[in-house]
Amino acid sequence: MMYAVALVAIMITMGLALTRAALGPTVFDRILALNMFGTKTVLLIAAIGFLTGRPDFLDLALVYALINFIGVIAVLRFAQHGHFGEIDDDDKGTDS
Amino acid sequence: MDLALDILSWICLVTGSIFAIIGGIGLLRLPDVFARMHGGGITDTLGAGLILIGLMFQAGLSLITVKLLMVLLFLLVTSPTATHAVARSALSHGVRPRVAGEEDGPSSL
pLDDT attached to residue A56: 86
Residue A85, pLDDT > 80, answer no
- Average per-residue pLDDT in chain A? 84
pLDDT band at A94 (very low <50, low <70, confident <90, very high): low
Residue A14, pLDDT > 90, answer yes
CB pair distance less than 8 Å for B78 and A68:
yes
Distances (CA, A) of B21 to A9, A96, B37, B78: 6, 34, 15, 21
pLDDT band at B94 (very low <50, low <70, confident <90, very high): confident
Contacts (Cβ under 8 Å, ≥6 apart) of A7: A44, A47, A48, A51
pLDDT attached to residue B2: 85
pLDDT band at B108 (very low <50, low <70, confident <90, very high): very low
Residue B30: helix, strand or coil by DSSP? coil
Count interface pairs A-B at CB distance under 8 A.
147
pLDDT band at A96 (very low <50, low <70, confident <90, very high): very low
Using one digit for the tens of pLDDT, what is the confidence trace for A31-71? 899 999 999 999 999 999 999 988 888 899 899 988 988 88
AA identity, residue B10: W
Tell me which of B9, B52, B79 to substitute to probe the interface with A (most A C-beta atoms closer than 10 Å).
B79
In contact, B36 and B83? CB cutoff 8 Å: no
Can you give the residue ranges of every domain in chain B? Answer: 2-92
Q: Which of A26, A38, A33, A72 is nearest to B26 (CA)?
A: A33
- The CA distance from A35 to A29, in Å, is 10
In contact, B39 and B27? CB cutoff 8 Å: yes
Most confident range (mean pLDDT) of A81-95, B35-49, B94-108 is B35-49
Q: Looking at the predicted complex, does its ipTM rise above 0.90? A: no
- The CA distance from A28 to B87, in Å, is 8
Q: Mean pLDDT, to the nearest integer, of B68-86?
A: 89
Name the CA dihedral angle for B8, A17, A59, A56, rounded to a multiple of 10 degrees: 60
Residue B48, pLDDT > 60, answer yes
DSSP letters for chain A: -HHHHHHHHHHHHHHHHHHHHHH-SSHHHHHHHHHHHHHHHHHHHHHHHHHTT-TTHHHHHHHHHHHHHHHHHHHHHHHHHSSSSSS-S----S--
Percent of chain B with pLDDT over 90: 31
AA identity, residue B26: G
Q: Which of residues 62-101 of B touch A (CB under 8 A)?
A: 64, 67-68, 70-71, 74-75, 78-79, 81-83, 85-86, 89-90, 92-93, 95
**Which of A6, A12, A61 is nearest residue B71 as measured by Cβ atoms?**
A61
Residue A86, pLDDT > 70, answer no
Prediction pTM value: 0.83
